[in-house]
Amino acid sequence: METTVGMSSVLEQDIREKFRRSGYTLTSQRRAVLEALKEARGHPSAEDVYLTVKRKNPRVALGTVYQALSVLEEIGVVDSKHWSESPTRYDLNVEPHLDIRCARCGAVSEIPGVELGELEENIRYNTPYEVKRTTIVVEGLCPSCREA
């Protein structure tokens, strides 16, 4: 099977397009950050991404990873979420969805199948603020931590 050929997947095309429209340049470091996000199983922190990127390119600076992540977030390629007692977690899934973090081991995973439909519009209807984003953050104990 050859569903992807290097940098030519559908996802990549979309990302290229978002970079083009934004005026930012798709540098090798930013590509490396994207690759690290793809490889990561869960929802990595900036530090996690940094360590992954460093394996292939030991010269990257942590600050570059932060800057890349913030550019990627600005152009809508990645999303970030904040839990208390954890550094910011990054996510290639930019659709509205739920993520839950284990309070004990820190693992983050997604909660599929929850209907959020009217929430955002209800919010817009009930506040005079111009709503930019709504983030739902769930905390709990993962299956292996709840038995311990």
DSSP assignment of 50-69 equals HHHHHHH-TT--HHHHHHHH
**Owner of token pair 């820190």:** 106
> 70 or 93, CB closer to Mn ion?
93
**CB-based contacts of 18, cutoff 8 Å, min separation 6:** 75, 76, 77
- Residue 102 found at the interface with Zn ion (CB under 5 A): yes
**Type of residue at 132:** K
Q: Which does 104 bind (CB under 5 to 8 A by kind): Mn ion, DNA, Zn ion, none?
A: Zn ion
Minimum separation from the CB atom of position 75 to its own copies (A): 17
The reply to whether 98 sits near its own copies by the rule CB under 8 A is yes
Residue with Cβ nearer Mn ion (73 or 110): 110
Which of positions 30-49 make contact with DNA (CB under 7 A)?
Answer: 30, 45-47
Residue among 51, 52, 47, 42 nearest 101 (CA):
42
Cβ contact 54:46 at 8 Å:
no
SS3 category, 111: strand
For residues 92 and 78, is the Cβ–Cβ distance under 8 A? yes
Q: Using CB under 8 A, which of the segments 22-30, 41-49, 61-69, 131-139 binds its own copies? A: 131-139
- The site for its own copies (CB under 8 A) is made up of 80, 82-84, 88, 98, 100, 102-103, 109, 111-116, 119, 122-123, 126-143, 146
- The site for DNA (CB under 7 A) is made up of 24-25, 27-30, 45-47, 57, 59-64, 66-68, 70-71, 85, 87-88
- The site for Mn ion (CB under 5 A) is made up of 91, 93, 99, 110
